Amino acid sequence: MNKVKTTSEKSLTNNSRIVGLLAQLEKINSESLLVEADTARYVTSKILHLAQSQEKTRKEMTAKGSPAIEVILSTLENTRDLQTTLNILNILIELVSVGGGRKASVLVSKGGTQILLQLLLSASKDSPPNEELMVQLHFLLAKIGPKDKKFGVKARISGTLNISLNLVKQNLQNHRLILPCLQVLRVYSANSVNAVSLGKNGVVELMFKIIGPFSKKNTGLMKVALDTLAALLKSKTNARRAVDRGYVHVLLTIYVDWHRHDSRHRHMLIRKGILQCIKSVTNIKLGRKAFIDANGMKILYNTSQDCLAVRTLDPLVNTSSLIMRKCFPKNRLPLPTIKSTFHFQLPVIPISGPVAQMYSLPPEVDDVVDESDDNDDIETESEIENENEDKDQLFKNDDIETDINKLKPRQELGRPIEELKMYEQFFPELADNFKDYDLVSKEPKPFASDANLGGPIVVPTAGEEQSVEANHSVKGITMKESNHLQAGECNKRPAFLDLPKKDSNKDNSLQQQSDQKKLLSSCQCLSYEIVKGLDRITLQNTSKNEQYYKTGCVTKKESKTSLTSLTCNKPCQHVSSCGSVLFEGRSVQLGKLCFTGVDPEEEDDSSSHSSGEQVMLEVPDILPLHDPDLYIEIVKNTKSVPEYSEVAYPDYFGHIPPPFKEPILERPYGVQRTKISQDIERLIHQNDIIDRIMYDLDNPSYSVPEEGEFLKFNSKFESGNLRKVIQIRKNEYDLILNSDINSNHYHQWFYFEVSGMRPGIGYRFNIINCEKSNSQFNYGMQPLMYSVQEALNSRPWWTRVGTDICYYKNHFARSSIAAGGQKGKSYYTITFTVNFPHKDDVCYFAYHYPYTYSTLRMHLQKLESMHNPQQIYFRQDMLCETLSGNSCPLVTITAMPESNYYEHICQFRNRPYIFLSARVHPGETNASWVMKGTLEYLMSNNPTAQSLRESYIFKIVPMLNPDGVINGNHRCSLSGEDLNRQWQNPNPDLHPTIYHAKGLLQYLAAIKHLPLVYCDYHGHSRKKNVFMYGCSIKETVWHTNVSAASCDLIEDLGYRGLQIGTRELEEMGAKFCVGLLRLKRLTSPLEFSLPSSLLDIENELIESSCKVTSPTTYVLDEDEPRFLEEVDYSAESNDEQDIELADNAGDYEPSVPEEGLSDSEMTRTHLP
């Protein structure tokens, strides 16, 4: 005991006077019946004097281990003397006021709340109650109340709720008394049950007796009353009471009065308090209706416009914006149905799930915004509160790493061995003896010199000599002049241009090689040197590459060919288009093509052309894996639900990464509220809205005038997605995306064509039916644009464009029925403004770099034709047919055996498998670009790539959802389902690609040849850079009985601040491959070794380290930076917080492709 006492007293100064006074006070408490009140008054007054005058004393009393607080509270609880009580209250006020929130929390932890509430109850019984006591008591309660989470419950249980309310009612003119009472009422009202109880006793009406028009007097009281009212009106019961009594109009009138008279902006907090009250009352449907009826939209719009010039008034502008957005009447999308425009008849209708629900949905309730969407369900008068809040809630542990009971037993194969034998045909490498192959023993591979070790990874080509020959014959589209076309006809709708058939191409190329070349007038094409240079494009952007990005000209003389030609006898002044060509049984056409917009210095050359010569539009074969003619041939065999007959020029010309980096766009301050304000103008000034339909897939008979200063739109090509366009203002357009086929949602991916623009004009595009709650468009990402004129000027690449970009919730919504039972879900808008560089250009916009199914097929054919069969084993199979009859490619890549000797064949067959897949979600095009980098690297002559092929057999499904990609879906296949949710039990009729991909894995499991790695490439709409989502460490050990460790990925800072382009994406695919080689070295050090020079290359490519971390689930934190104008969706929303578990899970959830496989063979890569 002595030791404890010594330690306690050591925290105070030994000779401190406060120690003795506290000791006296403690003695008084123990002998309260024998000591006169004068002694307690004297001691407490001395303590108060010391606390008020000496900071040292206050610190000593609140120091850790000091008994001062307990002694003072004990005295307060036991004393019956008024002056002693006042002294103690003043002491506590001094301690709390100086110490801040931490001291108030100490007071709460010592039981101060209950003691003060009991004192309030006792003091209220006096008639009349002592004013000074009530002031001090309420002031202290207002200080500690916010620090006590159970304060509202304690006040209700103790019966003190109405004491403060009655004091205010009885003393409306006594501002000194009612000010602390209002502060306590504000704390009480934070509890919904208390707010309802106070509302029944007239607290709302009482607050409107205190607040009023502009006055320089009692502004502090006005501010507290408004804060209290705002808290009370968060209760829907109180909000309805306020609406019924016409208080919404009163609040707006008061706000306008304060706005008009507060010219020096000294009372911004009062003005914001009024807005907070309006914000609370408009949380219910009746409040929003009353706000609209009182002309609230126009009032807040006008007042917020007045405040824009003063930066310090931004809180008023932002709060006004939230209120107006919330009260903006909810509308359905201007569509006949939110179901997809296109329909595909399924072979089997699912019994349950979203597709079955959509099929059973009556057409009359498709997406009508019903009453439930306002989230204004009628509640009981006593809004229910969780009374069990004192109990510790049980934490539901879903972490498999900490709960061994969640480990699943090893599952057996889901299909019999006899059925799995059908997949034997996809593994001929396991049975082939290579007797018929021309195998030669390999010499040791030469390694790069030391000077080249740090160089870029070279993308595989057909060899320099081969590519040089290929570029001698440049493919083109001809335009022939005809005497039948009058001069004025150049401005008419362009005629159609026939594309050549295969048979005629050979004759044409032979004849064209002998033709004399002539200068091209309307466009520029890449010269031979440029083409040769571009064939050597590397995955890293070096300064050497930039010399290839120059402009050259290729000229050809008129030749007699079988090509049907578009004729023109003068330089065209308008966009011309390539039109439909009838192939044998299939029609394909290119989109519009521009011939104007050349640079001024080119105009003289253009005008010098004679009208009797044919103009040849060169389509340079600038990419080693891109062939426009081959692409057209593949497109003819690609089956789409809309039966597309057009080809987008970016897919025809191809894309090369630009020779410059594209940094993240800096977001200007206030851009979101500016766009919202412009949207609100539509409601206020409806006569200014044009509301003209410019494009409509639901109404093919719609007509757009040929002439006029407006844009033209199109998306009728592979992977295109644009459903409807409405012109809002002269240079502003609302765009609506199409739902995934057999679905009524999943809108995010867009790819469309725009023409008819004028340079120097800012065109605003609003895509108004996006669904994600946030987007990288809020953090510096820009949409992509491809200009045909730029491509013809030797710049065939997608570039990031757009200013004033933001992503925000709009006033369109779908019903709870259409939303699958959720509360009516709001849509979001992507808005961006673009200034086009060329007149009458043809431009394409996309969410991300498009990568079509036909592009994949073309790339695979080019890879197959270019590889060295003596070194590389490359095989392309059709895994299965999709629902619409397209093939799903399966690629096998490995190194050929050195010979057909037994040892070499045995080594070949025993190579571990690496299983890779991508593009199960069509809108995640970045996954395909990474897969392209993987494929090209594996097929290259790089020494590391050769080692990879000698170490592994790669089985690759580069596109798991071809139908979704072809038809412009964002997430689903033609079955209307997310294929990544079907791995557990895929249906062979509805999910054939998943069913058979899983079958491949099950077959490997059946023959005891499980893949070492299965990685599924994905994209993410809201995260930056690259991350991997791996499998459970415990689950892996449980199933495989092998050691496992997690790996930390080290960020490559070179990507910081940049928008990821195709060069970086392909580089990621190559670096992933090198990581697999390191995995081989780490897992089998005795079986496999690498030359030191090769390891140097590897270490330069992957600057990361693998280390064992704690075996717990790793959760990725949001790394998105804060920007100046924070998005506050919860404050502005009428409905519940958006429930996106299904969608968000897709961003994180790993694929589950096999029943007989352990988690150790699965991982998933996400890309930005």
Q: How far apart, in whole angstroms, are the C-alpha atoms of residue 649 and residue 536?
A: 23
The DSSP code for 364 is G
Residue 181's closest CA among 240, 224, 230?
Answer: 224
Q: How far apart, in whole angstroms, are the C-alpha atoms of residue 930 and residue 733?
A: 33
pLDDT computed for residue 973 by the predictor: 95
The string of pLDDT tens digits covering residues 1142-1160 is 333 333 333 433 333 333 3
Within 10 angstroms of residue 1056's Cβ, the number of other Cβ atoms is: 11
For residue 619, pLDDT over 70 is answered with no
Whether omega before 354 lies within 30 degrees of 0, making that bond cis, reads no
Q: Is residue 159 a contact partner of residue 121, using CB atoms and an 8 Å limit?
A: yes
3 state SS of 1054: helix
Q: How far apart, in whole angstroms, are the C-alpha atoms of residue 481 and residue 485?
A: 8
- Confidence band (pLDDT; 50, 70, 90) for 525? very low
Distance (Å) of CA 475 to CA 606, 795, 971: 22, 17, 36
Residue 387's closest CA among 655, 152, 188?
Answer: 152
pLDDT mean over 881-892 = 97
Query: Phi/psi at 1146 (nearest 5 deg)?
Result: -65, -25
Task: Using CB atoms within 10 Å of the CB of residue 676, give its burial: 0 to 12 exposed, 13 to 18 middle, 19+ buried.
Answer: buried
**Average per-residue pLDDT for the chain:** 75
pLDDT mean over 458-464 = 31
Q: How far apart, in whole angstroms, are the C-alpha atoms of residue 797 and residue 660?
A: 11
Q: Is residue 1041 a contact partner of residue 1100, using CB atoms and an 8 Å limit?
A: no
Residue 655's closest CA among 772, 759, 797?
Answer: 797
Q: How far apart, in whole angstroms, are the C-alpha atoms of residue 968 and residue 946?
A: 37
Q: Is residue 956 a contact partner of residue 891, using CB atoms and an 8 Å limit?
A: yes
Q: What kind and span of H or E run contains 407?
A: none
For residue 56, pLDDT over 90 is answered with no
CB contact burial 753-766 (16+ within 10 A = b; e otherwise): bbbbbeeeeebbbb
Least confident of 498-512, 634-648, 934-948: 498-512
Residue 847: CA atoms inside 13 Å, Cβ hemisphere, count? Answer: 29
Q: How far apart, in whole angstroms, are the C-alpha atoms of residue 262 and residue 303?
A: 12
Token digits for 608?
A: 């010098």
CB contact burial 492-511 (16+ within 10 A = b; e otherwise): eebbebbbbeeeebeebeee
For residue 547, pLDDT over 70 is answered with no
Q: Which of the two residues, 1012 and 379, has the higher pLDDT score?
A: 1012
Token digits for 596?
A: 């104007």
Residue 279's closest CA among 331, 242, 334?
Answer: 242
3 state SS of 270: helix
Least confident of 523-532, 1028-1037, 1156-1165: 523-532
Token digits for 750?
A: 């867009």
Q: Which of the two residues, 1030 and 254, has the higher pLDDT score?
A: 254
Task: List the beta bridge partners of residue 1029.
Answer: 1164
The DSSP code for 1085 is T
3 state SS of 804: strand
**DSSP letters spanning 545-558:** GGGG---B------
The string of pLDDT tens digits covering residues 97-149 is 776 667 788 888 888 899 999 999 999 988 888 999 999 999 999 999 999 99
Query: Phi/psi at 24 (nearest 5 deg)?
Result: -60, -45
Token digits for 754?
A: 């725009």
Distance of CA 193 to the CA centre of its chain: 38
Longest dimension (CA), the chain: 126
Q: How far apart, in whole angstroms, are the C-alpha atoms of residue 284 and residue 376?
A: 6
For residue 712, pLDDT over 70 is answered with yes
Token digits for 238?
A: 């109180």
Task: List the beta bridge partners of residue 1013.
Answer: 914
Residue 1127 Ramachandran class (φ > 0 left, ψ -120 to 50 alpha, else beta): beta
Give every CB contact of residue 951 below 8 A, 6+ residues apart in sequence: 911, 912, 1077, 1080, 1088
3 state SS of 331: strand
**DSSP letters spanning 104-126:** HHHHHHTTHHHHHHHHHHHHTTS
Q: Is residue 763 a contact partner of residue 711, using CB atoms and an 8 Å limit?
A: yes
- Confidence band (pLDDT; 50, 70, 90) for 706? confident
Task: List the beta bridge partners of residue 1053.
Answer: none
Q: What kind and span of H or E run contains 564?
A: none
Within 10 angstroms of residue 1111's Cβ, the number of other Cβ atoms is: 14
For residue 928, pLDDT over 50 is answered with yes
Could you give the residue ranges of the DSSP H alpha helices within 294-373?
Answer: 296-307, 314-327, 354-360
Across 374-388, 676-690, 1138-1152, the highest mean pLDDT is recorded for 676-690
Q: Which of the two residues, 1124 and 205, has the higher pLDDT score?
A: 205
Give every CB contact of residue 5 below 8 A, 6+ residues apart in sequence: none
1072: amino acid identity, one letter: F
Q: How far apart, in whole angstroms, are the C-alpha atoms of residue 241 and residue 247?
A: 9
The string of pLDDT tens digits covering residues 760-792 is 999 999 999 999 889 999 999 999 999 999 999
Task: List the beta bridge partners of residue 916.
Answer: 956, 1015
pLDDT computed for residue 1023 by the predictor: 80
For residue 980, pLDDT over 50 is answered with yes
For residue 1110, pLDDT over 70 is answered with no
Q: Is residue 694 a contact partner of residue 704, using CB atoms and an 8 Å limit?
A: yes
Residue 743's closest CA among 725, 769, 775, 714?
Answer: 769
3 state SS of 442: coil
pLDDT computed for residue 1037 by the predictor: 73
For residue 1127, pLDDT over 60 is answered with no
